[in-house]
């Protein structure tokens, strides 16, 4: 367990954070849905454009089928 905390401390220090004794670090690992974009949207992103964020999302029933 000590090795795990040392790895976390090394990572945080590499990112510019310094945890001192007595501090509590709270984190939670969660899963996120993978975003699927169309080829057309990918082309817009590759060109530095941002496609509309207002497209209709499938209903929960459609996602579970």
Q: What is the pLDDT of residues 7-61, one digit of tens each?
A: 988 888 888 887 777 777 777 877 777 778 888 888 888 888 876 655 565 665 5
Please tell me the predicted confidence (pLDDT) of residue 12.
Answer: 85
Residue 63 in this model has a pLDDT that exceeds 70: no
Distance of CA 19 to the CA centre of its chain: 22
Residues composing the chain:
65
Confidence of residue 6 (pLDDT cuts 50, 70, 90): confident
Q: Are 7 and 1 in contact (CB under 8 A)?
A: no
């Amino acid at each position: 367990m000590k090795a795990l905390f040392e790895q976390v401390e090394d990572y945080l220090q590499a990112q510019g954070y310094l945890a001192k004794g007595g501090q509590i670090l709270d984190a939670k690992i969660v899963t996120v849905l993978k975003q699927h974009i169309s080829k057309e949207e990918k082309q817009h992103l590759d060109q530095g454009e941002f496609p509309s964020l207002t497209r209709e999302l499938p209903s929960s029933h459609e996602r579970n089928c």
